[in-house]
A and B are shown apart, each in its own frame.
Chain A
């Protein structure tokens, strides 16, 4: 057993949280000058600004102020200080034919020194004829999109499991990391979302490198058991999620660009340009990752290590290097998944934690330890979650996916593409 001093582990924790620390310093930058405010831009589903709507902000201690949306649909209400506020959209002032927002009023908390962005989602436009097939088509596309998000995270999780045996419960937190890092680059540093996402993905890759070099490799050297490492990853997830909460706050925040885009209609299906572009990017990157696994020397080495680490090492493969590459790319892919997820449901400190079980469902369905199984499993789970809302209440859609995972484990525990020997 390799001797491994306490200082090293503390150093790694400092390093891991330090990445976030820099982000926190950044956040204390320019935005502070403006003071506390609640603001937003009101747009209809087609993306056109909605003008002349009164929005009132109140709190429990008697503060009340309102603003009317201007020609760009923008509104801002300066508030006296941090705390809880209720934001009410006056539905009487909405133009005729606009469906009122589903959530109204919105309760929010203003953080010290930063404006809080509120996004009223004006309700679904009423379609004259919407058949079940129309909805099924729309939901399939949304399911495909969510499946791609899951796949970006699942491939890394599955390869890390395959090469090291670690069931990483902190993988969801890498998604959150990517989303939050991108948010800081985008909103605090004012970099366009595309550039910010590239930087966010690179930072996520670095985060993966730091985790592997600072935590998991030393633990493997130390001979820590796999179950013990799994519990370590649970502790790590708990620590990370709450660190995000402290730095980023409890509210959901949107990115600064492309927040509300008009959908483009393709027959029964309506998709925003950002959805289309991000789906294409995700599909291309997943295809490249798959090709790299099949064709490159590194990819072949990765599959060899996943198959049998000892045999791979004895045939001259540098196992540690392979695992490091898996961690960096796995984390970068998960970070990209986080950014894509945040583009639909905004950035929040819990987004990764909430997605983790669905990633597990995807990976289990496809077969733990196989990259292509994870890909197939993710698409199936994503479609299943969205399509199940045709029959069941949307609040229970994740329940369906998790139940399917349990049933798969009963019937075919090795998953769709897995091999029986892995289950033991």
Chain B
């Protein structure tokens, strides 16, 4: 067992592309779920429309990259409106079912043969990220920075990604100490009380859904650019569940919750994978194949989500009293 290697890869993974995607996705979800109490189980759909908005504009239509970013964000707002109009008046668990169904509708449509010319079917779309990498000021090569080893492309993604995380965290911090943020938290605590103060609860919820969706949109951009590709099955329901795990580990309704959650989750996810893989290869574990060992991780994610929700629903940073979630 090469522990040095295990820790370097795990630490590298903690700041890597997937960690950035989880973090931005969780920041968006934090606005919806953490602060406003909206059970959006379709966060993967927001990532998907943003990524596909960008990729379709550039690859299929042959238009400008920045126009693609605008299209991706516009598509996210449209999706939030489409989801919000029918569901935001309903009770929390209906919202969960509808958003999860909408995300699945979107994925099935994106991968269908009927739209293969536009969205590329189950292969997805590639070759839309050149304009992004052309902006990269770092000259080609591999760069080590402490335990983190990446090439110039990955460093560029990491720098842009964590800058976006910082900007979004600042935005959330400022918003949530403003009167707007207090209304959102009021809705989470007691919708009727806020309504009786003359606030348009429905419209505030809609704004939270749109804002959180835009957070998800940036996660979608980073996922698409980091992999230089979009493929429909990357946006399956499991992605939403992982984003929930990240948010709940860190602590919902806390500005630093998503960041801490993403770092810890990405580290552990990689750590367990490498440890099990090495254990299988060096013959320490003989009762599993290395494919099965990789699958054990998702069982652990599931059990981890259960135990967190039961014993520490507030995560590491949260306040338990703030998260007494109840639908009835």
- Chains A and B come from one and the same complex: yes
The verdict on A409 contacting chain B, using a C-beta distance below 8 Å, is yes
Residues of B in contact, count (CB < 8 Å): 50
Q: Is the CB of A228 within 8 A of B90?
A: no
Cα(A394)–Cα(B102), bound, Å: 18
A-B Cβ contacts below 8 A, count: 140
Q: Is the CB of B93 within 8 A of A396?
A: no
Q: Is the CB of B303 within 8 A of A239?
A: yes
Contacting residues, chain B, for A269 (C-beta < 8 A): none
Q: Is the CB of A409 within 8 A of B98?
A: yes
Cα(A405)–Cα(B87), bound, Å: 12
Q: Is the CB of B108 within 8 A of A231?
A: no
Chain A, residues 401-424, CB within 8 Å of chain B (1/0): the string is 011011101100100000000011
The verdict on A294 contacting chain B, using a C-beta distance below 8 Å, is no
Cα(A238)–Cα(B307), bound, Å: 13
Q: Is the CB of B93 within 8 A of A227?
A: yes
Q: Would A403 and B105 be within 8 Å (CB), given that A230-B96, A235-B305, A396-B114 are in contact?
A: yes
Contacting residues, chain A, for B92 (C-beta < 8 A): 227
Measured CB to CB, the nearest residue on chain B to A395 is: B112
Q: Which residues of B, 71-109, contact A by the 8 Å Cβ criterion?
A: 85-87, 90-94, 96-98, 100-102, 104-105, 108-109
Q: Is the CB of B100 within 8 A of A357?
A: yes
The verdict on B244 contacting chain A, using a C-beta distance below 8 Å, is yes
Cα(A231)–Cα(B302), bound, Å: 10
Contacting residues, chain B, for A237 (C-beta < 8 A): 302
Task: Mark the stretch among B142-150, B223-231, B293-301 that contacts chain A.
Answer: B293-301
Q: Would A423 and B104 be within 8 Å (CB), given that A232-B306, A232-B309 are in contact?
A: no
Task: Mark the stretch among A52-60, A202-210, A241-249, A376-384 that contacts chain B.
Answer: A241-249
Q: Would A242 and B295 be within 8 Å (CB), given that A234-B305, A413-B94 are in contact?
A: yes
Cα(A229)–Cα(B238), bound, Å: 18
Q: Would A225 and B326 be within 8 Å (CB), given that A219-B310, A237-B302, A238-B298 are in contact?
A: yes
Of A222, A231, A399, the most chain B CB neighbours within 10 A belong to A231
Minimum CB–CB distance for B81 against chain A, Å: 13
Q: Is the CB of A226 within 8 A of B93?
A: yes
Main secondary structure of the interface of A (DSSP, over half): helix
Q: Would A243 and B98 be within 8 Å (CB), given that A167-B93, A228-B325 are in contact?
A: no
Minimum CB–CB distance for A251 against chain B, Å: 12
Of B39, B102, B299, B324, the most chain A CB neighbours within 10 A belong to B299
Cα(A229)–Cα(B327), bound, Å: 11
The verdict on B321 contacting chain A, using a C-beta distance below 8 Å, is no
The verdict on A19 contacting chain B, using a C-beta distance below 8 Å, is no
Contacting residues, chain B, for A167 (C-beta < 8 A): 93, 96-97
Q: Is the CB of A406 within 8 A of B101?
A: yes
Cα(A13)–Cα(B302), bound, Å: 11
Contacting residues, chain B, for A405 (C-beta < 8 A): 97-98, 101
Minimum CB–CB distance for A17 against chain B, Å: 9
Contacting residues, chain A, for B257 (C-beta < 8 A): none
Q: Which of B39, B93, B98, B295 contacts A245 (CB 8 A)?
A: B295
The verdict on B328 contacting chain A, using a C-beta distance below 8 Å, is yes
Cα(A229)–Cα(B309), bound, Å: 8
Q: Which residues of A, 284-333, contact B by the 8 Å Cβ criterion?
A: none
Chain A, residues 263-288, CB within 8 Å of chain B (1/0): the string is 00000000000000000000000000
Q: Would A410 and B302 be within 8 Å (CB), given that A219-B310, A226-B328 are in contact?
A: no
Cα(A241)–Cα(B96), bound, Å: 20
Q: Is the CB of B39 within 8 A of A360?
A: no
The verdict on B261 contacting chain A, using a C-beta distance below 8 Å, is no
The verdict on A260 contacting chain B, using a C-beta distance below 8 Å, is no
Minimum CB–CB distance for A176 against chain B, Å: 14
Measured CB to CB, the nearest residue on chain B to A219 is: B310
Q: Which residues of B, 210-263, contact A by the 8 Å Cβ criterion?
A: 238, 241, 244, 248
Q: Is the CB of B309 within 8 A of A231?
A: yes
Cα(A280)–Cα(B282), bound, Å: 54
Having A112-B289, A357-B101, A410-B86, one finds 9 other A-B pairs with CB under 8 Å, namely A167-B93, A227-B327, A232-B309, A235-B241, A236-B306, A237-B302, A360-B97, A402-B101, A409-B86
What would be 7 A-B contacts, judged by CB atoms less than 8 Å apart?
A167-B93, A225-B327, A230-B96, A235-B303, A238-B241, A242-B295, A246-B295
Using a CB–CB cutoff of 8 Å, the interface residues on chain A facing chain B are 6, 9, 13, 112, 165, 167, 219, 222, 224-232, 234-243, 245-246, 357, 360-361, 364, 368, 393, 395-396, 398-399, 402-403, 405-407, 409-410, 413, 423-424
Using a CB–CB cutoff of 8 Å, the interface residues on chain B facing chain A are 39, 85-87, 90-94, 96-98, 100-102, 104-105, 108-109, 112-114, 238, 241, 244, 248, 288-289, 292, 295-296, 298-307, 309-311, 313, 324-328
